[in-house]
């Protein structure tokens, strides 16, 4: 069986995300677009994941919970979990390592978290688009230690990516996939320019949506075969997702 997936979506919690991007609106748009599996990935925080869980149940979308971590090297990495609580705990851990730079909503945007009915529950004080104190290798190890998926984001973009910060895509590491914006274009590697398909890791695309109209714009197809997509507790089986991602190599 094949499903449509989108692993990179920002809500109104991200200062760069539109205030219309409530978890409820996101889940409804995903359902309208036929996306079966989706992740909420705000910058360095998972505080809108509880509302996303409720909204996804309402609209029949299977949720993953996580964030877009900004590593010490200023590389963006998607951290995805099947457990909302794990994502919240990891987000709280990362928040403590962010520099003490306060957000200025008038200059950089609001950072609000809400419930499933779009009531504002609070606002995050620290500016979220800053780097945590952990390197990309340390972040990857921590994500995997918590049972999650580690996916470097928009690898081919000119900012906050492997290519922008390292100058090339390193040889295959212990990542679960690589997210590209334009997966047909060659990228720099240690051996020279090469197509993403030759990097030895699954290649995905995702919307990186900041506005409702962007949701599912680069959703990708995931072949889960005959494996169960959810476990006995109703949570997404990351073992099934990992197996499906490996089919993309």
At the fourth CATH level, the homologous superfamily of domain 2-246 is: Metal-dependent hydrolases (3.20.20.140)
**Can you give the pTM of this predicted structure?**
0.98
Relative to beta strand 149-152, strand 76-81 is: antiparallel
Quote the CA–CA distance of 151 and 206 in Å, as a whole number: 11
What are the residue ranges spanned by the domains of the chain? 2-246
- The whole-number pLDDT of residue 173 equals 84
- The whole-number pLDDT of residue 133 equals 97
103-113 as b/e: b if 16+ CB within 10 A: beeeeebbbbb
CA angle 227–232–238, rounded 5-degree value: 50
**CB 249: neighbour CB atoms within 10 A?**
12
Mean pLDDT by 10 residues, the chain (249 residues): 98 98 99 99 99 99 99 99 99 98 97 98 98 98 98 98 97 92 97 95 98 98 97 97 96
- The whole-number pLDDT of residue 67 equals 99
- The whole-number pLDDT of residue 171 equals 83
- The whole-number pLDDT of residue 21 equals 98
């Amino acid at each position: 069986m094949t499903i449509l997936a989108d692993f990179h979506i920002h809500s109104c919690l991200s200062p760069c995300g539109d205030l219309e991007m409530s978890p409820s609106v996101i889940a409804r748009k995903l359902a309208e677009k036929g996306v079966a599996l989706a992740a909420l990935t705000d910058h360095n925080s998972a505080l809108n994941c509880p509302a996303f869980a409720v909204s996804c149940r309402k609209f029949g979308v299977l949720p993953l919970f996580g964030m877009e971590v900004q590593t010490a090297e200023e590389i963006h990495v998607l951290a995805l979990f099947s457990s909302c609580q794990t994502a919240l705990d990891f987000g709280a851990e990362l928040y403590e390592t962010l520099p003490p730079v306060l957000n200025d909503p008038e200059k950089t945007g609001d950072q609000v978290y809400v419930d499933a009915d779009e009531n504002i529950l609070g606002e995050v004080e620290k500016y979220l688009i800053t780097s945590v104190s952990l390197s990309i290798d340390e972040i990857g190890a921590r994500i995997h230690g918590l049972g999650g998926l580690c996916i470097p984001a928009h690898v081919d973009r000119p900012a906050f990516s492997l290519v922008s910060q390292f100058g090339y895509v390193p040889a295959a590491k212990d990542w679960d996939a690589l997210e590209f914006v334009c997966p047909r274009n060659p990228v720099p590697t240690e051996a020279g320019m090469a197509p993403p398909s030759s990097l030895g890791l699954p290649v995905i695309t995702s919307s990186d949506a900041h506005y409702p109209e962007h949701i599912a714009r680069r959703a990708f197809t995931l072949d889960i075969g005959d494996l169960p997509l959810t476990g006995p507790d109703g949570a997404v089986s990351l073992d099934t997702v990992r197996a499906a991602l490996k089919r993309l190599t």
